[in-house]
A and B are shown apart, each in its own frame.
Chain A
């Protein structure tokens, strides 16, 4: 019963807001609708409305999925430096990190659902009712891990908010233990996702031991980028107190990750280009195109350029500590990793295909619209959750607020 009132209170919260808030909601809903009509075509006619074909049988959807696993993982991994450096608002960082992780995992699962040919048969993948191919299929592992990760994070964050809402002390020990479990789990979900590709000897482009380390490094560039921006917004509009120093430390950690990513990639490139085996073809397709098929080249170079600019901006202390350049860098690195995971990771794995044929893939309008639908719904969910969390954590929104009689009193009370 209490929980229902908690949900009730939360719903009341998300319905109220400023004009800017409503405009943002309207924008997201409009975008989601535009996307949903594209997805409806795909549901009717099948995946033929995408540009995927037998040669390139996975593409933009699975790339988005991979990217979002990285976001989900990095959101929690950020808790590590929060503990190590003992940043003040640890509880808040945990809450917002977990909210981001929850939304990202839900979006991940949505991208799997839109990618499969028979979404109604999704239950075949579930334990007990379906026939999960455990432990052989990496996809079963991945799905299982993601589900567990979602449940864990959802539990912690709901427990925290719920306790604050009811002015009850939260179970500190349990939260601490679960957060400590969820950190290696975060590393785990991204590693397992990398293994999904890594496990295929038929695809030399992915069959490199450096794939999982590169995944983790790139995730630690893109995930914190969102949180850096979110923290600045929160700092402006709420009582959330995070020092400049903490934000700069996050940025510094991101530079290390970018450097590690760069190093891994150069190691990979050296091996491929110096040995010059037939496996070089995939990298050639990615970076220069093969023959007249150069459609993917702009994607890869835009990702490289954005990544490089971000690296420089984050590396130089002056631009790292300037919030304008810092934010430009954060957006650039986010976009860079998005293009890298969305296109540059998946497509060269399939081009040329296993029989050496080249099928040129770029995302179709249906794919872009479907992705837009998932992203806008994901952002909508994230907006709602953040709004609830802000009210509960910073604005002292409590159970007493929703019982009408006390409403007056609480409003007038000074916030503590």
Chain B
């Protein structure tokens, strides 16, 4: 750790030479600190604490609101999993927008972590014949069923393997997260993800100030900047406090189930035991923690 510290100060010293130029363009010490901030997983608790304090301060100045940024780690004996009842889902997209609100996704350019695919009943789960832009007056449409897709929180995620800088990884509770301060925006993870679950901030993300969710997790829904990748985290800021993800809460037909795989009494275990489940693209051996089932 000490060695890392000296490396950091070494980098800082080097930068001092170019400091003069930088200050002229309005760059202050805090931004410089942020620039030299190391990968989240290599930080000590003290460093994390400082960074988070600065972040809360920064958000307060930027948005005139009080924010709570958490860096709460995974709980012991918890492995999250999700189940979605395909026979109930009506394709209303309420989950899509609840997710946008909860997780401070950019409204313009628009980012949706959940994509709902409309499928033809006769074809079964067939991506090539699905439509993500369906827009009838009323759902569900005759002859169709709906398949919402977000991050499948794979047990063998390919997105984390391909990342050239280790900016994304799987937490002990199974959630795949991203360090938005470390991501270089190469988008290799997006090419690797078989579920289109990763989204890129092509432009500066815009969220109306009054709509900002102030209950944040460092690895989850804190406001992003342009040029980084983001994705569903099972609402890490909620589930680590024992709440349901917001898509589970909003679903009007109760199609979405969530729980702890390691708890024998959990609903998710009940579903695995009593229903027949499937995962998407099982031939790719990604081993998702996101199951689909037919409840009725």
The reply to whether chain A is a binding partner of chain B is yes
Q: Which residues of A contact B (CB under 8 A)?
A: 45-48, 50, 52-55, 57-58, 112, 115-118, 120-122, 124-125, 129-133, 136-140, 143, 196-197, 199-203, 278, 281, 349-350, 352-357
Instruction: List 5 other contacts, CB 8 Å, given A121-B184, A352-B128, A356-B126.
Output: A46-B202, A48-B226, A54-B200, A137-B162, A350-B191
Within 8 A of A (CB), among B181-236: 182-188, 190-196, 198-204, 226-229
Q: Nearest-CB distance from B53 to chain A (Å)?
A: 23
Chain A contacts for B38, CB-based, 8 A: 131
Residue of B whose beta carbon sits closest to that of A141: B164
Given contacts A117-B227, A121-B184, contact A202 B191 (CB under 8 A): yes
Verify A137–B191 contact, CB threshold 8 A. no
Chain B contacts for A120, CB-based, 8 A: 35
Verify B164–A278 contact, CB threshold 8 A. no
Taking a contact as CB atoms closer than 8 A, the residue among B117, B186, B194, B284 that contacts A115 in the complex is B186
Q: Is B107 an interface position by the 8 A CB rule?
A: no
Q: How far is B193's CA from A360's CA once the two chains are assembled, in angstroms?
A: 20
Verify A200–B228 contact, CB threshold 8 A. no
Q: How far is B186's CA from A118's CA once the two chains are assembled, in angstroms?
A: 8
Given contacts A47-B227, A133-B165, contact A202 B194 (CB under 8 A): yes
Chain B contacts for A117, CB-based, 8 A: 183-187, 200-201, 226-229
Chain A contacts for B39, CB-based, 8 A: 124, 131
> By the criterion of a CB under 8 Å from any partner CB, how many residues of chain B are at the interface?
52
Verify B7–A357 contact, CB threshold 8 A. no
Taking a contact as CB atoms closer than 8 A, the residue among B127, B229, B285 that contacts A356 in the complex is B127
Interchain residue pairs A-B with the least CB separation, the first 10: A117-B185, A117-B227, A356-B127, A48-B203, A202-B194, A139-B164, A48-B202, A46-B226, A57-B190, A124-B165
Within 8 A of A (CB), among B266-289: 284-285
Verify B186–A139 contact, CB threshold 8 A. yes
Verify A116–B186 contact, CB threshold 8 A. yes
Q: How far is B39's CA from A204's CA once the two chains are assembled, in angstroms?
A: 32
Q: How far is B109's CA from A47's CA once the two chains are assembled, in angstroms?
A: 12
Residue of B whose beta carbon sits closest to that of A349: B191
Given contacts A131-B39, A199-B162, A202-B191, contact A355 B130 (CB under 8 A): yes
Choose among B42, B186, B194 the residue with the greatest number of A CB atoms under 10 Å from its CB: B186
Residue of B whose beta carbon sits closest to that of A201: B284
Verify B194–A57 contact, CB threshold 8 A. no
Q: How far is B204's CA from A15's CA once the two chains are assembled, in angstroms?
A: 42
Chain B contacts for A124, CB-based, 8 A: 39, 165, 167, 182, 184
Choose among A54, A115, A116, A130 the residue with the greatest number of B CB atoms under 10 Å from its CB: A54
Q: Nearest-CB distance from A200 to chain B (Å)?
A: 5
Verify B182–A121 contact, CB threshold 8 A. yes
Given contacts A139-B162, A357-B132, contact A202 B193 (CB under 8 A): yes
14 contacts between A and B (CB under 8 A): A48-B203, A57-B200, A116-B185, A124-B167, A130-B165, A131-B38, A133-B166, A137-B163, A349-B191, A350-B191, A353-B196, A357-B131, A357-B132, A357-B196
Q: How far is B165's CA from A112's CA once the two chains are assembled, in angstroms?
A: 14
Q: Is B239 an interface position by the 8 A CB rule?
A: no
Q: Is B11 an interface position by the 8 A CB rule?
A: yes
Q: Is B9 an interface position by the 8 A CB rule?
A: no
Q: How far is B132's CA from A29's CA once the two chains are assembled, in angstroms?
A: 45
Q: How far is B119's CA from A356's CA once the two chains are assembled, in angstroms?
A: 11
Chain A contacts for B187, CB-based, 8 A: 57-58, 115-117
Q: Nearest-CB distance from B263 to chain A (Å)?
A: 32
Q: Nearest-CB distance from B144 to chain A (Å)?
A: 15
Chain A contacts for B7, CB-based, 8 A: 129
Q: Nearest-CB distance from A395 to chain B (Å)?
A: 40
Verify B132–A125 contact, CB threshold 8 A. no
Verify A52–B194 contact, CB threshold 8 A. no
Residue of A whose beta carbon sits closest to that of B202: A48
Residue of A whose beta carbon sits closest to that of B7: A129
Chain B contacts for A131, CB-based, 8 A: 38-39, 42, 165-166, 182
Residue of B whose beta carbon sits closest to that of A355: B196
Verify A45–B204 contact, CB threshold 8 A. yes
Q: Is B129 an interface position by the 8 A CB rule?
A: yes
Verify B165–A118 contact, CB threshold 8 A. no
Verify A137–B199 contact, CB threshold 8 A. no
Given contacts A48-B109, A124-B182, contact A354 B193 (CB under 8 A): yes
Within 8 A of A (CB), among B110-131: 115, 117, 126-131
Verify A58–B191 contact, CB threshold 8 A. yes
Q: Is B158 an interface position by the 8 A CB rule?
A: yes
Q: Is B161 an interface position by the 8 A CB rule?
A: yes
Q: Nearest-CB distance from A205 to chain B (Å)?
A: 11
Verify A46–B227 contact, CB threshold 8 A. yes
Q: Nearest-CB distance from A130 to chain B (Å)?
A: 6
Chain A contacts for B117, CB-based, 8 A: 355-356
Q: Is B78 an interface position by the 8 A CB rule?
A: no
Q: How far is B200's CA from A118's CA once the two chains are assembled, in angstroms?
A: 12
Choose among A58, A115, A133 the residue with the greatest number of B CB atoms under 10 Å from its CB: A133
Q: How far is B181's CA from A124's CA once the two chains are assembled, in angstroms?
A: 10
Q: Nearest-CB distance from A360 to chain B (Å)?
A: 13
Chain B contacts for A46, CB-based, 8 A: 201-204, 226-227
Q: Nearest-CB distance from B18 to chain A (Å)?
A: 12
Chain A contacts for B163, CB-based, 8 A: 133, 137
